[in-house]
Amino acid sequence: MLWVICYDIANDKRRNKVSKLLEGYGRRAQFSVFECDLDEQKCNLLEKRLKREIDPAEDDVRFYPLNAADLGRVRVFGRAELYEKKGFYIT
């Protein structure tokens, strides 16, 4: 499932750690927004790892699920590119 994950992290050091962590799971859509194609196991692992990095009293991380129907209704403007799931190629 495609997840839009966004964050508001108060501390620069924590924000950098969260950003680096998310880069390993998906594509940056905007500065603090990532699009991640995750199965349930990866989603749970990412959630667990993020919870270790943030301060719950100061920081905010949100996971928004997008199913195929929702993804088809997404509107993008400007230089934005819509997430496309890449297939596998055998050569």
Query: What architecture does CATH give domain 2-71?
Result: 2-Layer Sandwich (3.30)
Mean pLDDT to the nearest integer, 2-12: 96
Domain boundaries, the chain: 2-71
What's the pTM? 0.84
* C-beta contacts of 13-21 below 8 A and 24+ residues apart: 14/53, 14/54, 14/55, 14/59, 17/53, 18/50, 18/53, 18/54, 18/61, 21/46, 21/49, 21/50, 21/53
For 37-84, what is each residue's pLDDT tens digit? 999 999 999 999 999 999 999 999 999 999 888 888 888 888 877 766
> Of 87 and 78, which is predicted with more confidence?
78
- Inform me whether the pLDDT recorded for 10 exceeds 80: yes
pLDDT (mean) for 8-13: 96
